[in-house]
Amino acid sequence: MTIPKPSWLKVQLPHGREWRHVEEVLASKGLHTVCDEARCPNKGECWGAGTATFMIMGDTCTRGCRFCAVKTAHQGQPLDPAEPLHLAEAVKALGLKYAVITSVDRDDLPDRGAAHFVACIRAIRELSPGTLVEVLIPDYVGTELSTVLDAKPDVLAHNVETVRRLQSVRDRRASFDKSLQTLREAYAAGIPTKSSLLLGLGETEDEVLDALRELRSAGVSIVVMGQYLRPTPQEIPVTEYITPTRFAEYAEKARALGFASVISAPFARTSYHAREAWGAVDNPARKTGSGPRRGHEAETEGNTQGGLIS
C-alpha cells in the first residue's frame, strides 16, 4: 500500500534567472548532475540559488541499488578525457566557492574511476584555485582511495545509506562495514569525512543511533539525515514519513554524539548546504584562513532521492 505524502513534503519547482544560468552552463559543457539523473527534490532550490552537484563518469551506474533512480548497466560509457576541463570551466563560469563532485559507480574500470576523480579535482584547482572541493565517492579502499586522498579534497563523503539491518537495499557489492572502512581510511589521512542516512526505510530509532555511533567511531565529522522518497514505482516503497520534529530530535542526538556538523531534515541530502557543514568542522584550511573566493556556493544534494553511490 502506498503511503500518501504528508503536507511538509512540498518540492520547489525550478524557476528564475539563476536556474536558467545553471542549466545553460551545464548544457554547454555536456555535464551531468545528480539533480537530474536521480530526480533530486532539491533541484528547484539549489539551481535557483545557482548551485548544482556534478556527476562525473557518465549517467549509467554499474550497481543496482533498490532505492535509486539512476539507470544501471554492466558497463558504463567510455570516460571522456575532456570532462575534467569542462567541469572546471563550469565551476569557474558559475563562480562557485564550493564544488561538490560525485559519480556513478564504475566497477567496470580497473581503478573504478579513482584517477578520473583526481583529474577533476586538479582541473578545478588549476582554473578556480579559490574553490573548495568536496568529493562524494564510491566505496573505494586501499589504492583506489589513496589515489583520491593524495589529491587532498577538502571533504571526502561516502554514504552508508541506511542502518545495518537494511543494507540489503543496496547493491550486493556494498556493505555497511566496507563503507566504514572507506571512511576510516579517509579519516586516518586527515581529511574531514561525511556520510548520510536515508530514513523511512523501516529502521528503528535504536538502529539509527547505533549507525550514528559507528560513524562517529570511524571518525566521521559531518552527518546528513534525510527522508527516503521513492523516485519511481520501480524502486522500493517508503515505509514511513519521518516528521520534521523527529528529524530535529535525531539532529540533537547526533550532536550529542560529537558530530561537528549535522544536517537533518526531510529533504536533506549528502551535499545539501555543504559549505556550511564544512565550515563547522575543525580543519586546517579553515584555521589558516585559506578558503574560497566570493561567489555562489555549491550547497546542494549529492546522494539523492535514495542515493547514488554505494
Q: What does the pLDDT look like over 51-89, one tens digit per residue?
A: 567 889 998 999 999 988 888 999 999 999 999 999 999
* Residue labelled with grid coordinates 556538523: 261
Exposure string over 106-117, b if 16+ CB within 10 A, otherwise e:
bbebeebbbbbb
Residue 206, C-alpha cell as written in the block: 535504536
Q: What pLDDT score does 267 carry? A: 86
pLDDT given at position 20: 65
Sign of CA pseudo-dihedral 150, 178, 37, 10? negative
Look up residue 2 and give its DSSP letter.
Answer: P
Assigned C-alpha cell, 115: 584517477
What does the pLDDT read at residue 157? Answer: 96
* pLDDT at residue 291, rounded to an integer: 42
Cα–Cα dist 85/91, whole Å: 10
C-alpha cell at 283: 580543519
What pLDDT is stored for residue 309 in this prediction? 36
pLDDT at 207: 98
pLDDT one-digit tens code per residue, 219-255:
999 999 999 989 888 999 999 999 999 999 999 999 9
Output the CATH code of domain 16-287: 3.20.20.70
Give the C-alpha distances (Å, rounded to integers) separating 142 from 105, 106, 160.
17, 16, 18
Q: pTM to 2 decimals?
A: 0.83
Q: Measure Cα distances from 225 to 2, 57, 131, 159, 286 in Å.
A: 22, 26, 26, 11, 24
What's the pLDDT at 154?
Answer: 94
Per-residue confidence (pLDDT) for residue 268, from 0 to 100: 86
Taking every pair of C-alpha atoms in the chain, what is the biggest distance, in angstroms?
54
What pLDDT is stored for residue 8 in this prediction?
81
Residue 35 CA to residue 101 CA, distance in Å, equals: 12
Contact yes or no for 301/277 (Cβ under 8 A) = no
Q: Tell me which residues of the chain have a pLDDT lower than 50.
A: 35-50, 284-310
Beta bridge partners of 194: 157, 222
Inter-residue contact 305 to 68 (CB < 8 Å): yes
